[in-house]
Amino acid sequence: MDFNSDSITPDFDADDINIFEELSSSNSFSQPERNPLEQILLGEDEVNETIAFDTDVIADLLQVLAHHAIVKSSDDPTQILPDVANDVDINSARVTSQEDEFRLSLLVELQDEKKIRPCVRVRQENGSLNLVEEEEKVPKQWLPLYKMLHQALSSAVDSLKATVQIA
Protein backbone atom coordinates (compact mmCIF):
# COMPACT_ATOMS: atom_id res chain seq x y z
CA MET A 1 0.00 0.00 0.00
CA ASP A 2 1.10 3.52 -0.66
CA PHE A 3 0.25 6.41 1.62
CA ASN A 4 0.04 10.10 0.91
CA SER A 5 -0.64 12.77 3.53
CA ASP A 6 -2.39 15.21 1.15
CA SER A 7 -6.15 15.49 1.32
CA ILE A 8 -9.03 16.95 -0.65
CA THR A 9 -10.32 20.21 0.73
CA PRO A 10 -13.51 19.86 2.82
CA ASP A 11 -15.46 22.03 0.38
CA PHE A 12 -14.77 19.68 -2.58
CA ASP A 13 -17.99 18.45 -4.17
CA ALA A 14 -17.77 15.99 -7.03
CA ASP A 15 -21.16 17.20 -8.27
CA ASP A 16 -19.59 20.60 -9.04
CA ILE A 17 -17.43 19.08 -11.79
CA ASN A 18 -19.08 19.16 -15.20
CA ILE A 19 -17.62 16.11 -16.92
CA PHE A 20 -18.91 17.10 -20.35
CA GLU A 21 -17.40 20.57 -20.04
CA GLU A 22 -14.06 19.04 -19.03
CA LEU A 23 -14.16 16.68 -21.99
CA SER A 24 -14.99 19.40 -24.47
CA SER A 25 -12.57 22.11 -23.33
CA SER A 26 -10.01 22.85 -26.02
CA ASN A 27 -7.01 22.45 -23.72
CA SER A 28 -8.16 19.07 -22.37
CA PHE A 29 -7.31 17.06 -25.48
CA SER A 30 -5.87 17.58 -28.91
CA GLN A 31 -8.59 18.26 -31.46
CA PRO A 32 -8.84 15.78 -34.35
CA GLU A 33 -10.50 16.88 -37.59
CA ARG A 34 -13.87 15.77 -36.25
CA ASN A 35 -14.43 15.52 -32.51
CA PRO A 36 -15.18 11.81 -31.79
CA LEU A 37 -16.57 12.66 -28.34
CA GLU A 38 -19.14 14.88 -29.97
CA GLN A 39 -20.11 11.96 -32.20
CA ILE A 40 -20.50 9.70 -29.15
CA LEU A 41 -22.59 12.21 -27.24
CA LEU A 42 -24.79 12.90 -30.26
CA GLY A 43 -25.22 9.18 -30.93
CA GLU A 44 -23.62 9.27 -34.37
CA ASP A 45 -21.88 6.33 -36.05
CA GLU A 46 -19.43 4.29 -34.03
CA VAL A 47 -16.09 6.00 -33.52
CA ASN A 48 -12.81 4.09 -33.49
CA GLU A 49 -10.53 7.07 -33.05
CA THR A 50 -8.34 7.52 -29.98
CA ILE A 51 -8.50 10.75 -27.97
CA ALA A 52 -5.33 12.04 -26.29
CA PHE A 53 -6.55 13.39 -22.94
CA ASP A 54 -4.48 15.39 -20.51
CA THR A 55 -3.60 13.21 -17.48
CA ASP A 56 -5.20 15.75 -15.13
CA VAL A 57 -8.51 15.37 -16.97
CA ILE A 58 -8.28 11.57 -16.76
CA ALA A 59 -7.50 11.80 -13.03
CA ASP A 60 -10.45 14.15 -12.45
CA LEU A 61 -12.84 11.90 -14.35
CA LEU A 62 -11.62 8.78 -12.53
CA GLN A 63 -11.96 10.61 -9.22
CA VAL A 64 -15.59 11.59 -9.82
CA LEU A 65 -16.53 8.14 -11.10
CA ALA A 66 -14.69 6.30 -8.29
CA HIS A 67 -16.17 8.59 -5.61
CA HIS A 68 -19.63 7.84 -6.98
CA ALA A 69 -18.93 4.08 -6.82
CA ILE A 70 -17.62 4.36 -3.24
CA VAL A 71 -20.62 6.34 -2.01
CA LYS A 72 -23.01 3.99 -3.79
CA SER A 73 -21.46 0.86 -2.24
CA SER A 74 -20.73 2.12 1.29
CA ASP A 75 -23.60 1.97 3.77
CA ASP A 76 -21.26 2.02 6.77
CA PRO A 77 -17.63 2.67 5.79
CA THR A 78 -16.36 1.84 9.29
CA GLN A 79 -17.20 -1.83 8.65
CA ILE A 80 -14.30 -2.07 6.19
CA LEU A 81 -11.72 -0.68 8.62
CA PRO A 82 -9.18 -2.74 10.55
CA ASP A 83 -8.95 -2.45 14.36
CA VAL A 84 -6.03 0.00 14.13
CA ALA A 85 -8.18 2.60 12.35
CA ASN A 86 -10.74 4.97 13.83
CA ASP A 87 -12.41 6.46 10.78
CA VAL A 88 -12.44 6.64 6.99
CA ASP A 89 -13.58 9.71 5.09
CA ILE A 90 -15.36 8.44 1.98
CA ASN A 91 -15.63 12.02 0.74
CA SER A 92 -11.83 12.21 0.62
CA ALA A 93 -11.59 9.94 -2.43
CA ARG A 94 -8.88 11.32 -4.66
CA VAL A 95 -7.15 10.21 -7.84
CA THR A 96 -3.64 11.48 -8.44
CA SER A 97 -1.41 10.86 -11.44
CA GLN A 98 2.27 9.99 -11.38
CA GLU A 99 4.07 9.26 -14.64
CA ASP A 100 2.10 6.44 -16.29
CA GLU A 101 -0.24 5.54 -13.43
CA PHE A 102 -3.22 6.83 -11.48
CA ARG A 103 -3.81 6.21 -7.76
CA LEU A 104 -7.17 6.19 -5.97
CA SER A 105 -6.90 6.82 -2.23
CA LEU A 106 -9.06 7.57 0.80
CA LEU A 107 -8.12 9.37 3.98
CA VAL A 108 -8.03 6.97 6.96
CA GLU A 109 -7.53 8.12 10.53
CA LEU A 110 -5.61 5.67 12.72
CA GLN A 111 -6.10 5.21 16.47
CA ASP A 112 -3.02 7.32 17.22
CA GLU A 113 -4.69 10.16 15.24
CA LYS A 114 -2.24 9.85 12.34
CA LYS A 115 -3.80 10.01 8.89
CA ILE A 116 -2.84 7.78 5.98
CA ARG A 117 -4.00 7.33 2.40
CA PRO A 118 -4.10 3.66 1.37
CA CYS A 119 -4.42 3.44 -2.40
CA VAL A 120 -4.97 1.24 -5.41
CA ARG A 121 -3.32 1.87 -8.76
CA VAL A 122 -4.08 1.71 -12.45
CA ARG A 123 -1.42 1.91 -15.18
CA GLN A 124 -1.78 3.57 -18.54
CA GLU A 125 -0.22 1.18 -21.09
CA ASN A 126 -0.57 1.24 -24.88
CA GLY A 127 -3.64 3.46 -24.81
CA SER A 128 -5.53 1.54 -22.14
CA LEU A 129 -5.88 1.64 -18.37
CA ASN A 130 -5.00 -1.59 -16.52
CA LEU A 131 -5.53 -2.20 -12.81
CA VAL A 132 -2.40 -3.14 -10.84
CA GLU A 133 -3.24 -6.25 -8.82
CA GLU A 134 -1.59 -6.08 -5.39
CA GLU A 135 -3.99 -8.00 -3.17
CA GLU A 136 -1.32 -10.51 -2.09
CA LYS A 137 0.79 -7.64 -0.70
CA VAL A 138 -2.02 -6.20 1.42
CA PRO A 139 -2.19 -7.23 5.12
CA LYS A 140 -5.35 -9.23 5.90
CA GLN A 141 -6.81 -6.57 8.17
CA TRP A 142 -6.71 -4.00 5.34
CA LEU A 143 -8.22 -6.29 2.65
CA PRO A 144 -11.85 -5.05 2.95
CA LEU A 145 -10.73 -1.45 2.38
CA TYR A 146 -8.41 -2.51 -0.45
CA LYS A 147 -11.20 -4.47 -2.14
CA MET A 148 -13.62 -1.55 -1.88
CA LEU A 149 -11.05 0.85 -3.41
CA HIS A 150 -10.15 -1.70 -6.09
CA GLN A 151 -13.80 -2.19 -7.04
CA ALA A 152 -14.42 1.57 -7.16
CA LEU A 153 -11.40 2.19 -9.40
CA SER A 154 -12.29 -0.78 -11.59
CA SER A 155 -15.82 0.59 -12.00
CA ALA A 156 -14.44 4.06 -12.86
CA VAL A 157 -12.04 2.63 -15.45
CA ASP A 158 -14.81 0.53 -17.00
CA SER A 159 -17.04 3.61 -17.26
CA LEU A 160 -14.27 5.57 -19.01
CA LYS A 161 -13.49 2.67 -21.36
CA ALA A 162 -17.17 2.40 -22.29
CA THR A 163 -17.12 6.03 -23.41
CA VAL A 164 -13.80 6.62 -25.17
CA GLN A 165 -10.44 5.10 -26.01
CA ILE A 166 -7.72 6.98 -24.15
CA ALA A 167 -4.38 7.52 -25.86
* 3: in domain: no
Average pLDDT over the chain reads 77
pLDDT-derived band at 152 (thresholds 50, 70, 90) equals very high
- DSSP code of 27? T
pLDDT at 3: 46
Q: Which residues of 14-38 are buried (b: 16+ CB within 10 A; e: fewer)?
A: beeeeeeebbeeeebbeeeeebbbe
pLDDT digits (tens, 9 = 90+) for 20-50: 666 665 554 444 455 556 655 665 555 455 5
* 4: in domain: no
pLDDT at 39: 58
* 9: in domain: no
pTM of the model: 0.65
pLDDT above 70 for 123: yes
pLDDT above 60 for 109: yes
Q: What residue numbers bound the domain in which 47 lies?
A: 14-166
Q: Which of 123, 99, 96, 97 is nearest to 107 (CA)?
A: 96
* 58: in domain: yes
